[in-house]
Structure 1
Amino acid sequence: MKLLLENKTAVITGGSSGIGLATAKLFAQEGANLVLTSINKEELDKVVGEITGAGGKAIGLVADSADPKAPKEVFTKAIETFGQVDILVNNAGYGDMYSIEETTDEHFEMVAQINYFGIFRYCREAVQHFMPRNEGVIVNVTSVNGSLPVCGVAYTSTKGAVNIMTKNIAIRFSGTGIRCNAVAPGHTDTPMARAWAAGDLAGGDKMLRYNSLYVNTEVPPTQPEDQANAILYLVSDMSKAVTGRVLTVDNGAYMY
């Protein structure tokens, strides 16, 4: 049986832990060539070693999504190594809990550089590479907090903005072979989410108190693999007629 991503090359930002790691492992099982980025070289080397040791093809690049030069450098290396890029998964992100009155301009700018401008730049680089072939897929990992904003004001604002950007890109390329969708995870069992649930994210627990008012907190968290399965669906030909969608994966906790 043909693998879903056989001979496809995928760039996954934030690919060394959490949802990015689960996605990388699943894509490798489905035959993809992987270009993984992270700011953590030790984690990155470990993941690449595991994938290549199991017979997969992967390279790791230390890259900060807030760096304006990173997307071009990553795509250049990916093309040098594998010939072209077929898939972009924008997974890297930063979470915080600072409420509006606590958020400085500098903090909002820092969050936006990672969660919004970084994704914008990677998307721009991707579509410029996709357009000559009229083919390629982008999945942006956002958050349920982009629609039900019970975390920090910078985090939720940037996630909501990426949802809109996703739709804008999809409209621009509607009817072509270039697609853009988003996955909006609910509470997922990752290091960042565990810190959020404990009130240990930057900004403390001031916004966390509102979570129980709007969210079914009795619903168990999703696993990174649940998000990876949704991402795989959106990058594969199973969803070839799907674009401009934000797919919520949350076990039904956020009924907004």
Structure 2
Amino acid sequence: MASVIQSQKTALITGAASGVGFAVAKLCRNKGMHLALLDIDESNLTKTKLVLSDLDPNLKTEAYVLDVADRSAWKDIADNISRSFPEIDLVVLNAGRGYKPQIQESRGRMNPWLDTEYWSKTFDTNVFGPLNGLDVILPLILDSKSKTPKSIVVTGSKQGITNPPGGNNPAYNASKAAIKSLTEHLAHDLRSDPITSHISVHLLIPGWTWTGFMGNVGPNKEQDMKKPTGAWYPSQVAEELSAGLEKGLFYIICPDGETDRALDQARMKWGSEDVYEERPALSRWEDGWKGRAEEAIQADANARRS
């Protein structure tokens, strides 16, 4: 399927007011696309609409304030979207929040296993946010008179694959692992049904990217950002997404300034082998395995590069 990022097509993007969402929206606008922008941050969403409208006032730009975890709000906004945009060609469900578990008074430290609210908030945004979007946007695509190619992109995370341990990570990692699984099922189901086979599904997996998640808030000019040397700009992730859609990739895995594709592949391979090699869970970080894991991963990465 050809990429749907084309002039006069329409893109619907959540998390559009900053970071990767804004970068994807800007790329789509530069390609001549109409935009439906959704974000919980009303102030930055207003700025985003102005910035993107100014790039081409002849293209339609609508903004909708939305908490993706709010299912009823999704339904209300879907009605407005369907009235403004008779066709939606690209859907980018770009939801990702990380929360810190509360400090346990008796222990004086954060413990994710004693804070169910931490888990609930993370899954409400990171898992049910995209599911809520699919619940109301997928019917709009299916009801459209045109059967031209459409694409759905869901933003995942390498942490949902490599699963690095850490005090704040369990809920985030688990939520992104769930996103990987549900997006794989969605892709299979849609391409296997003749009625929906014109809808392609893609999992965007950014690398280390300097986004609003890390303090880069709002539709900032990238040259004004103060980012670490190894991190990518959000625009680089957007370009990688565009290239992945052109190639028809499902897994669109982005490198960054510190981790190339070969190292990503070697790390993911090691993690998957924990199961059938009968190693300890997360052996890459296990004291008795760290050295062997690092040596094997580096050797594998070097072999892939040669």
Contact 2:11–2:91 (Cα < 8 Å) also in 1: yes
- 2:234 aligned to which of 202, 214, 224: 224
| 1:30 matched to 2:41 | no
1:156: which partner in 2? 173
What is the aligned residue count? Answer: 227
1:20 corresponds to 2:21: yes
1:192 aligns with 2:213: yes
Name the CA shift for 1:131/1:118 in 2 (closer, same or farther; >3 Å): same
Q: Using a 3 Å threshold, how does the CA distance of structure 1 residues 87 and 71 change in structure 2: closer, same or farther?
A: farther
d(CA) in 1 for partners of 2:191 and 2:34? Answer: 26
Give the 3 Å change call, closer, same or farther, for CA 154–222 of structure 1 in structure 2.
same
| Aligned 1:130-141 pairs, distance under 5 A | 130-132=141-143, 133-134=146-147, 135-141=149-155
Max Rg structure: 2
Q: TM-score under structure 2 normalisation?
A: 0.68
Which segment drifts farther, 132-141 or 50-59?
A: 132-141
Percent sequence identity is 24
Q: 1:122 is matched with which residue: 109, 118, 133? A: 133
Sort the Cα spacing of 1:5 and 1:158 in 2 relative to 1 into closer, same or farther, 3 A.
same
Q: Of 181, 184, 187, which residue of structure 2 is paired with 1:167?
A: 184
**Residue of structure 2 in register with 1:71 after alignment:** 74
Contact 2:69 2:132 (8 Å CA) reproduced: no
Q: Which runs of 5+ in 2 are unaligned?
A: 102-109, 217-227, 269-306
State whether residues 144 and 184 of structure 1, in contact with CA within 8 Å, keep that contact through their aligned partners in structure 2: yes
Deviates more, 1:137-146 or 1:221-230: 221-230
For residues 179 and 125 of structure 1, what CA distance do their matches in structure 2 show? 17
Which 5+ residue runs of structure 1 have no aligned equivalent?
Answer: 196-217
CA RMSD of aligned residues (A): 2.4
For 1:68 and 1:4, the matched residues in 2 are separated by: 28
Question: Aligned partners of 1:249 and 1:103: how far apart in 2?
Answer: 34
- Structure with the larger RCO, 1 or 2 (CA within 8 Å, 6+ apart): 1
State how far apart, in whole Å, the 2-side matches of 1:88 and 1:103 are: 36
The Cα of 1:121 is off from its aligned counterpart by 1.7
Compute the displacement of 1:116 (Å).
Answer: 0.1
Q: So what's the TM-score if we normalise by structure 1? A: 0.80
**Which residue of structure 2 lines up, in the alignment, with residue 53 of structure 1?**
54
State the distance in 2 between where 1:231 and 1:103 align: 38
Q: Are residues 1:105 and 2:116 paired?
A: yes
Q: Is the contact between residue 146 and residue 163 of structure 1 (CA under 8 Å) also seen in structure 2?
A: yes
Runs in 1 of length 4+ with deviation above 3 angstroms? Answer: 96-103, 132-135
Q: Following superposition of structure 1 onto structure 2, how do residues 79-98 of structure 1 map, counting pairs within 5 Å?
A: 79-96=82-99, 98=101
